Structure formats: structure tokens, C-alpha cells
Amino acid sequence: MDKKAETRHLTHISDILSKALSKYRPPQETEITQIWEIWDLALDASITQNAKPDTFKNGQLKVIVSSSVWIQQLKFLEKEMITNLNTRLNTPLITHLRFKIGEIHY
């Protein structure tokens, strides 16, 4: 088989994960996997540089934040953030955010 034929049959890892997760997780928890794709699009750059999504369970999105100052700021913006994120996700998956100080990975 030549290389072109091989690449035509490759499957993206997100497709594999979505199929596997759908067997074991409720649809809401598999739809949230898009959060990493839409995070930077849904929120201001100042927020995305200081906060990143971490885990999701039962409507709660845990967000890792760079400092306690940013936690205070984001608490004021929580409702707006939830609205923007759910709009980008095209479904109201996120009901509240929980902020935790941690290392931000880009």
C-alpha cells in the first residue's frame, strides 16, 4: 500500500475518543470535549491566558486559574463566561464554574 492510500484511511483521534466515550458516558459529558477547541474563541484573551478548562462533571466545569486575583475576577464574570461557552457549544451544558489555582498549560 502506498503512503497516499494509508493517509486516506487514517482516523482522527477525536473521532476515536468520541465513539469510545459515547459508549460509557452520557451525551452531555462527551459533548463537553469540544471545550478545549472553543475556549479561546468564546472568551477574551486576557481570560484565556490566565484560565484553562480542566474537568467537567454534572454541569460543573472546573477551571484552572493562574492566581487568587484571577479567581476573584472570574467569579464576577462567571455568568457571562457560562453564557459565552454554552453559546459556542450550541447547548447549555455548563451550569456553573469552579475555579482552582494551578499551573496553566498552553
21 within some domain = no
Count how many domains the chain has: 1
Cell numbers linked to 27: 451525551
Residues 21-58 pLDDT 10s: 666 655 555 578 889 889 999 999 999 999 999 999 99
Supply φ then ψ for residue 73, to 5 degrees: -60, -45
- Percent of residues in the chain assigned helix, strand, coil, to nearest 5: 55, 20, 25
**Residue predicted with more confidence, 1 or 46:** 46
pLDDT of residue 93: 93
Tell me if 32 is assigned to some domain.
yes
Structural domain contains residue 13: no
pTM summary value: 0.72
Does a structural domain hold residue 106?
no
CATH number at residue 44: 3.30.300.180
Which residues constitute the domain of residue 95?
26-101
Q: Residue 62: inside a domain, yes or no?
A: yes
- Is residue 11 situated within a structural domain? no
Asked if the structure places residue 10 within a domain, the reply is no
Four-point Cα dihedral 19, 56, 73, 50, nearest 10:
-50
Mean pLDDT of the chain: 85
Spatial CA neighbour of 55 closest among 18, 99, 105, 106: 99
- CA 73 to chain CA centroid, Å, is 20
